[in-house]
A = this chain, B = another copy of it.
Amino acid sequence: MAKNIQSLERAAAMLRLLAGGERRLGLSDIASSLGLAKATAHGILRTLQHEGFVEQDPGSGRYQLGAELLRLGTTYLDVHELRARALVWTDDLARSSGEAVYLGVLHQHGVLIVHHVFRPDDSRQVLEVGAMQPLHSTALGKVLAATDPVAHAELVDAKREPFTARTVTELDEIERTLDLTRAQGYATDNEETLEGVAAVAAPIYDRRRLAVGAVGITGAVERVCRDGELRPELIAAVRDTARSVSRDLGAKPF
Report the Cα distance A173→B78, complex, angstroms.
Answer: 35
In the complex, chain A residues 1-38 whose Cβ is within 8 Å of any chain B Cβ: 2, 4-5, 7-9, 11-12, 15-16, 19, 23-24
Distance in angstroms from A51 CB to nearest chain B CB is 4
| A73 on the B face (CB < 8 A) | yes
**Are B5 and A44 interface neighbours, CB within 8 A?**
yes
**Which chain B residues lie closer than 8 Å to A64 at the CB level?**
76, 79
Name A74's contact: one of B4, B50, B51, B73 (CB within 8 Å). B73
Known A108-B52, A112-B67: A130·B8 in contact at CB below 8 Å: no
Report the Cα distance A66→B77, complex, angstroms.
Answer: 10
**Are B70 and A130 interface neighbours, CB within 8 A?**
yes
Distance in angstroms from A6 CB to nearest chain B CB is 9
| A186 on the B face (CB < 8 A) | no
**Are B19 and A51 interface neighbours, CB within 8 A?**
no
Q: Mark A40-60, 1 if CB is under 8 A from B, else 0.
A: 000110111011110000000
| A226 on the B face (CB < 8 A) | no
Distance in angstroms from A30 CB to nearest chain B CB is 15
In the complex, chain A residues 53-94 whose Cβ is within 8 Å of any chain B Cβ: 53, 64-77, 79, 91
**Are B79 and A112 interface neighbours, CB within 8 A?**
no
In the complex, chain A residues 134-180 whose Cβ is within 8 Å of any chain B Cβ: none
**Are B7 and A8 interface neighbours, CB within 8 A?**
yes
Distance in angstroms from A106 CB to nearest chain B CB is 9
**Which chain B residues lie closer than 8 Å to A235 at the CB level?**
none
